[in-house]
Structure 1
């Protein structure tokens, strides 16, 4: 588990996750360069720190609006903050953002209906979008860091969560809490992500010949 944690720790620039994030960040910067200025970007579920690590904070003519359930803290120009729900953003007008971005969020919003709701709102609010999510078929589940965890029967997952600290999560001995945690993540396959974003290009982030993450990209020239 220690080795898997080191590989998955995107805070470490020498980790696998850090390497993949740098490649993803370069792709994002290239796409943003094609967007006319001034540009407004809605980051659903994001943080200012993500953009700083991605070397995309403070891009000339770009304002990033961070949307979370609780408005996140912003400390520098070029960022705004607001509260909201990825599945329903009625306060935001159609096509009111030049780009909608999210990183490892859509798998956390709930079941397939919730994911469809988020995808519909992303396409409604944004002229373009860049939506990343881990690939369900990658052999190591990226949150619990257990090989094949996402394919285990629910009761087995609940028992593991109750008995062990796994990945990013501490041991959760309460059964109801363990069940809620085990069912809180709904990973997607490439075809499932494509169905949520009709017409999108599905970019595959690969490692050792395997697809680690998926990105739905739409609206960019």
Structure 2
């Protein structure tokens, strides 16, 4: 990954665009938390311990919180925190949780990974069922640089070209893939959303658009569950 792309997309660089947007995004999230009385139960769908650590949230004493990280598999981590627990589950079917069990459901760049539009709707419905509030972010389909493969207009290319690129080059966060079937699976597994489709999943939501040089890089929907 070249230096310019790293400067834009690498969340581990504190001065990258991704890091700055993430911090701004999290400021919006914490402003919503201020309206919730302690203690606060947060469900992070697809989250990691390092995500919360990197944002400095675990070092702040602003609220008494309990964070549950839900993923399809256990994510190995070198650190633990008494207020965070990991559970195995499916974002499209959170059958182990009751309605309104969490004060707020948080999800960052996950809904585009769960499957087709029907499965994305299932995730949205589950988010709004188990949470009293929600805060969900996803990249914009029409931003010119695809954020996972970090390649211009990758999402609009024919599948044969995407497979060829993946089997010949390391793209974004993916190493070069030797197997064409695996490359096809990777290329088709991410279903980016446009604004209309995203809002259709959360029809009562407020919308925030993250901008880069006047272009919308990603969307955030947030609101109260009915």
Tell me which residue corresponds to 1:172.
177
**Is 1:79 matched up with 2:80?**
no
- Could you state the TM-score of these two structures normalised by the residue count of structure 1? 0.95
**Is 1:207 matched up with 2:208?**
no
Distance 2:197 2:167 in 1: 30
**Is 1:153 matched up with 2:158?**
yes
Tell me which residue corresponds to 2:137.
132
Gaps of at least 5 residues in structure 2 are none
Q: Which runs of 4+ in 1 moved over 4 A?
A: none
Distance 1:145 1:77 in 2: 35
CA contact (8 A) 1:25 1:55 kept: no
How much has 1:198 moved relative to structure 2?
1.1
Tell me the SS of whatever aligns to 1:170.
Answer: coil
Distance 2:14 2:85 in 1: 27
**Is 1:62 matched up with 2:65?**
yes
Tell me which residue corresponds to 1:37.
38
**Is 1:11 matched up with 2:12?**
yes
Distance 2:40 2:164 in 1: 47
Gaps of at least 5 residues in structure 1 are none
Distance 1:70 1:108 in 2: 14
**CA deviations over 1:120-158 (Å, ceiling 9, x no partner):** 100111110000111111110001111111111111111
CA RMSD of aligned residues (A): 1.4
CA contact (8 A) 2:7 2:15 kept: no
How much has 1:172 moved relative to structure 2?
0.7
How much has 1:204 moved relative to structure 2?
0.4
Q: How many residues align?
A: 220
Tell me which residue corresponds to 1:51.
52
Which residue among 86, 104, 117 is the counterpart of 1:99? Answer: 104
**CA deviations over 1:160-210 (Å, ceiling 9, x no partner):** 111111111011121100000000111111111100111101110111111
Distance 2:100 2:178 in 1: 45
**CA deviations over 1:88-118 (Å, ceiling 9, x no partner):** 0111001110100010101111111111111
CA contact (8 A) 1:66 1:80 kept: yes
Distance 1:60 1:219 in 2: 20
- Could you state the TM-score of these two structures normalised by the residue count of structure 2? 0.93
Distance 2:8 2:195 in 1: 23
